[in-house]
A and B are shown apart, each in its own frame.
Chain A
Amino acid sequence: MKNNELITQDELQEERLFNSSLGRRSFLQFAGASAAGIALMAAGCKKDRNYGDVSMGATLDFKDDFGVLNYAYALEQLEAAFYVKVASAPPSSFTTAQKAYFQDIQFHEVAHREFFKNALGTAAIGSLEVDFSSIDFTNATSVLGAAMAFEDLGVAAYNGAGVRIKSTDYLVLAGKIVSVEARHAAYIRDIISNGTFADLASLAPLGAVNANGLDGALTPDKVLAIAGKYVKTKINVINL
């Protein structure tokens, strides 16, 4: 949507939606489409204008399971890129056992990435360009902190996206992956501080509820906002 006037109208529309100042019936007459769809399109247009050319980015269209799978593919690309870099030159203070397990994790994430790539086929988004400038790959504390952030976020992402998956097969596959991400998270947390493998109180910002023994769960928009600092490629989200 390149028409400035349209964008302005959409933005107005968006504001009205949030303010609930416009009756549903008149809104639908005006928009000629579902309220939810238009609100998201409006959000999309706003982003387009603010962040530049949409054609340079990757679009996650959550209208069907391909959107969810591409979302997972994007996150796995990010994780795999991180661990490939770590495993190729681990911090000098890593023990032999830690180096071996980071090799394992690297290949787990690479396998997840390639699995989604193959499963998606022509529907797959392109390769994302990552930005790890905030991570000091020579420093164990920095690397472990980033690894923990990726794994805990990955768990919350899969937990939050599961309910969107329509295909039973893909739901089970996501379940098969998320528990492995949780195992990674627990392992990395225990290296940082033994016994914090399931410190749910510390995971509250990711949606965990310690009192109920629940791990994190976040909707894709929140996950992508957090992951955004590690990705150069612009990720557009529609039909969420």
Chain B
Amino acid sequence: MNIVNILEEIEKVDGEIYERLSPRRNAMKDFYNIGKKISLAALPLAMGSMFQKAYGQTNPSTVNDVLGFALALEYLEWNYYNKALTLANTTYIPDGPARAAITTIRNHERAHVDLLKGALGITGADGYVYADFDFTAGGGFADVDTNYQTFLKVALAFEDTGVRAYKGQAPILKGNAVLTTALQIHSVEARHAAHLRQMVAANVTGASGLKPWIAYSANGNDTGIAAVDAVYAGEQNTTQAGIQITGINGTSVTQSQAAECFDEFLTGAAVKNIANLFIKAGKKLT
């Protein structure tokens, strides 16, 4: 085991490794002191402890990156619903169950914003306000503020994106207590998505067959709304961990059910591309 090689390998993924190690003289001193006494076999353990000292002092920046990313998405969702609920338009979100459901969802998104701000130690104003967004997505959803059907389509895209976004970030939070909180938000977004899918099915022309879960479609998008193809890219997958789910072990699981029963994740980059369609220049996610 060559420590220089190891450090070089780490440098490839963390350019600040030497900075992290050398200013923390205690970490290095401890390591070299131990180094005098330990056998080669115990070296990996000692290395681990050195890196824990270098990295373990604060919440890893990657976890904060995930939380900040999640917060931006929650800002987007909250502003969308909150604005819609203030628009007085009798042909827009109807009073009764529809308005109640959107209110429930809006309140959850606000709770997520507040929770994530708290986790990140943000005490000031929101990082994104309504004026930072363009919910028409550059005109693609031009009547989003007046047409209930358009409102529902965009809302569904946000929720299904949210589910995929949190799922995609889970590996970075692996083993961290924050993961549990992220999963608890993730499944709430999935509940929202399932309900919105039923609202879309009941109200959007041509969408009556939309299921609460994401059915098979050749390009992954089962909504019939071409503008949101990117939200569903890859959802047509029916193979998990190399195991074909369609007809698994001689069962009658159909291709659609195989695609439905596992929701796919989206990478952070893919989610940012989708979110940025709705974020104005200067505030886009990078």
Q: Which of B97, B108, B163, B262 contacts A198 (CB 8 A)?
A: B108
A96 at interface, CB cutoff 8 A? no
Closest Cβ neighbor of B201 among chain A residues? A97
When distances are taken between beta carbons in the complex, the residues of chain B under 8 Å from A136 are none
B243 and A180 contacting across the interface, CB-CB below 8 Å: no
B254 at interface, CB cutoff 8 A? yes
A200 at interface, CB cutoff 8 A? yes
A162 at interface, CB cutoff 8 A? yes
B219 at interface, CB cutoff 8 A? no
Closest Cβ neighbor of B238 among chain A residues? A111
Q: Give residues 146-170 of A contacting B (CB, 8 Å).
A: 155, 158-160, 162-163, 165-166, 168-169
Q: Give residues 234-255 of B contacting A (CB, 8 Å).
A: 240-241, 243, 245, 248-249, 251-254
A101 at interface, CB cutoff 8 A? yes
A118 and B263 contacting across the interface, CB-CB below 8 Å: no
B263 and A179 contacting across the interface, CB-CB below 8 Å: yes
B269 at interface, CB cutoff 8 A? no
When distances are taken between beta carbons in the complex, the residues of chain A under 8 Å from B243 are 115, 118-119
Give the total number of A-B pairs whose CB atoms are below 8 A apart: 193
When distances are taken between beta carbons in the complex, the residues of chain A under 8 Å from B245 are 111, 115
Q: Give residues 184-202 of B contacting A (CB, 8 Å).
A: 184-195, 198
A101 and B183 contacting across the interface, CB-CB below 8 Å: no
CA distance A218 to B252 in the complex (A): 32
CA distance A86 to B252 in the complex (A): 16
Q: Give residues 109-151 of B contacting A (CB, 8 Å).
A: 109-112, 114-115
When distances are taken between beta carbons in the complex, the residues of chain B under 8 Å from A195 are 97, 100-101, 104
CA distance A179 to B193 in the complex (A): 10
Q: Give residues 215-229 of A contacting B (CB, 8 Å).
A: 215-217
CA distance A211 to B260 in the complex (A): 31
A176 and B264 contacting across the interface, CB-CB below 8 Å: yes
B254 and A107 contacting across the interface, CB-CB below 8 Å: yes
Question: 1/0 contact trace for A168-207 toward B, CB 8 Å?
Answer: 1101110111111111111100100011011010000001
CA distance A208 to B264 in the complex (A): 24
Distance in Å: Cβ of B73 to nearest Cβ of chain A: 13
| Size band of the interface chain A makes with B | 35 or more
B184 and A198 contacting across the interface, CB-CB below 8 Å: no
B171 at interface, CB cutoff 8 A? yes
| Size band of the interface chain B makes with A | 35 or more
A179 and B190 contacting across the interface, CB-CB below 8 Å: yes
When distances are taken between beta carbons in the complex, the residues of chain A under 8 Å from B100 are 195
Known: A197-B194, A198-B188. Is A112-B241 also a contact (CB below 8 A)? no
A163 and B111 contacting across the interface, CB-CB below 8 Å: no
A11 at interface, CB cutoff 8 A? no
A212 at interface, CB cutoff 8 A? yes
Binds A, one of B174-182, B220-228, B274-282: B174-182
CA distance A169 to B243 in the complex (A): 13
Known: A111-B245, A183-B212, A214-B181. Is A175-B186 also a contact (CB below 8 A)? yes
B252 and A107 contacting across the interface, CB-CB below 8 Å: yes
B194 and A112 contacting across the interface, CB-CB below 8 Å: no
When distances are taken between beta carbons in the complex, the residues of chain B under 8 Å from A52 are none
Closest Cβ neighbor of B170 among chain A residues? A175
CA distance A179 to B190 in the complex (A): 5
B192 and A211 contacting across the interface, CB-CB below 8 Å: no
B261 at interface, CB cutoff 8 A? yes
CA distance A194 to B97 in the complex (A): 7
A175 and B174 contacting across the interface, CB-CB below 8 Å: no
B211 and A104 contacting across the interface, CB-CB below 8 Å: yes
Distance in Å: Cβ of B246 to nearest Cβ of chain A: 9
Known: A111-B257, A197-B195. Is A162-B263 also a contact (CB below 8 A)? no
CA distance A231 to B249 in the complex (A): 24
B249 and A118 contacting across the interface, CB-CB below 8 Å: yes
B188 and A171 contacting across the interface, CB-CB below 8 Å: no
Given A178-B187, A213-B108: 17 more A-B contacts, CB < 8 Å:
A107-B253, A110-B251, A111-B257, A111-B258, A119-B243, A159-B184, A165-B174, A168-B171, A175-B265, A178-B190, A179-B186, A180-B213, A180-B262, A185-B194, A186-B192, A200-B188, A213-B111
Mind listing 5 A-B residue pairs with CB under 8 Å? A107-B254, A109-B261, A110-B251, A215-B183, A215-B191
Q: 10 tightest CB-CB pairs across the interface, nearest first?
A: A213-B111, A182-B190, A186-B194, A108-B261, A179-B190, A214-B184, A213-B108, A183-B194, A182-B187, A198-B191
Residues of A within 8 A of B (CB): 101, 104, 107-112, 114-115, 117-119, 155, 158-160, 162-163, 165-166, 168-169, 171-173, 175-187, 190, 194-195, 197-198, 200, 207-217
Residues of B within 8 A of A (CB): 97, 100-101, 104-105, 107-112, 114-115, 163, 166-167, 170-171, 174-177, 179-181, 183-195, 198, 211-213, 240-241, 243, 245, 248-249, 251-254, 257-258, 260-265
